[in-house]
Amino acid sequence: NIGAYGVEIKDFFHELEAYHIQSGEIHKFSAKDCAFGYRESVFKKSLKGQYIILSVTFRLNKHPQFNTSYGSIEEELQKSGIQELSAKAISDAVIRIRKSKLPDPAQIGNAGSFFKNPIVENSLSEQILQDYPQAPVYPVSETHSKIAAGWLIEQCGWKGKRLGNCGVHEKQALVLVNYGGASGQEIFELSEKIISSVSEKFNIQLEREVNVIR
């Protein structure tokens, strides 16, 4: 259930077809069957390793309601002189923003966003906002809020830091990079240090968004 800038796959998902590895059968899954959550689905939990997803069908809105309030989309649209909103204009803006912040895997090894944005109780997010009024906190329910993991990591001093052949990207603290020659174990150990730092400073336990194969 990937997502960015306030939109997730589940918002437009209709169904998918998947190949069952053991039986060789093709099965269809509805949104309910997939049990989508924040960066989660049944394929990362109870059915992990059992299926290969072959195709996905999306249901798009012919008259979409545009949301430009998330992140820096509105600023990017203004910078580009966009007067009339369209799905294409917003898509292009998001792509430009992502390219400016995320390193190209073809040039420097990375897996994109390494950690999930943590969802915490409002009591904790309110406490953080008292100490850091500009903290990127987004309400997700009446009782919980989401905090940008990259911001938490940056506040712990990790942004741009390098340990041997791996490190944290200089423009986006959510991305861990391999400068060449770093082993998977080195990347994992770096992520453990980051998780520990955030836990100590904010009492928040970061979760990895990537799949770790050991």
As a whole number of angstroms, the distance between CA 149 and CA 211 comes to 17
Q: Match 């390193």 to its residue by tokens.
A: 103
As a whole number of angstroms, the distance between CA 11 and CA 5 comes to 13
Decide if 177 contacts 168 (C-beta within 8 A): yes
Q: 117 is written with which tokens?
A: 């944005």
Choosing from 41, 113, 125, 191, which is the catalytic residue? Answer: 113
Tens of pLDDT, residue by residue over 78-118, are 888 888 888 889 889 988 888 888 888 888 999 999 999 99
CA 163 to chain centre: 23
Phi, psi of 55 (to 5 degrees): -155, 155
As a whole number of angstroms, the distance between CA 192 and CA 176 comes to 12
Tens of pLDDT, residue by residue over 55-89, are 999 999 888 888 887 768 888 888 888 888 888 89
The predicted model scores a pTM of 0.75
Q: Which one, of 191, 41, 38, lies nearest residue 111 by Cα?
A: 191
Q: 188 is written with which tokens?
A: 């994992």
Q: 114 is written with which tokens?
A: 């390494």
Class of domain 3-58: alpha beta
Residue 154 is a catalytic residue:
no
Query: Dihedral through CA 158, CA 161, CA 167, CA 173, nearest 10?
Result: 40
Pick the CATH number of 109-202 from 3.40.50.150, 1.10.3720.10, 3.40.50.300, 3.90.78.10: 3.90.78.10
Residue 39 is a catalytic residue:
yes
Burial of 50 (0-12, 13-18, 19+ CB in 10 A): middle
Give the residue with greater pLDDT, 5 vs 203: 203
Mean pLDDT of 1-11: 86
Tell me what percent of the residues of the chain surpass a pLDDT of 70.
Answer: 100
Domain boundaries, the chain: 3-58, 109-202
Q: Which one, of 176, 14, 23, 155, lies nearest residue 102 by Cα?
A: 176
Q: 35 is written with which tokens?
A: 């049990």
What pairing do the DSSP bridges indicate for beta strands 137-139 and 166-168? unpaired
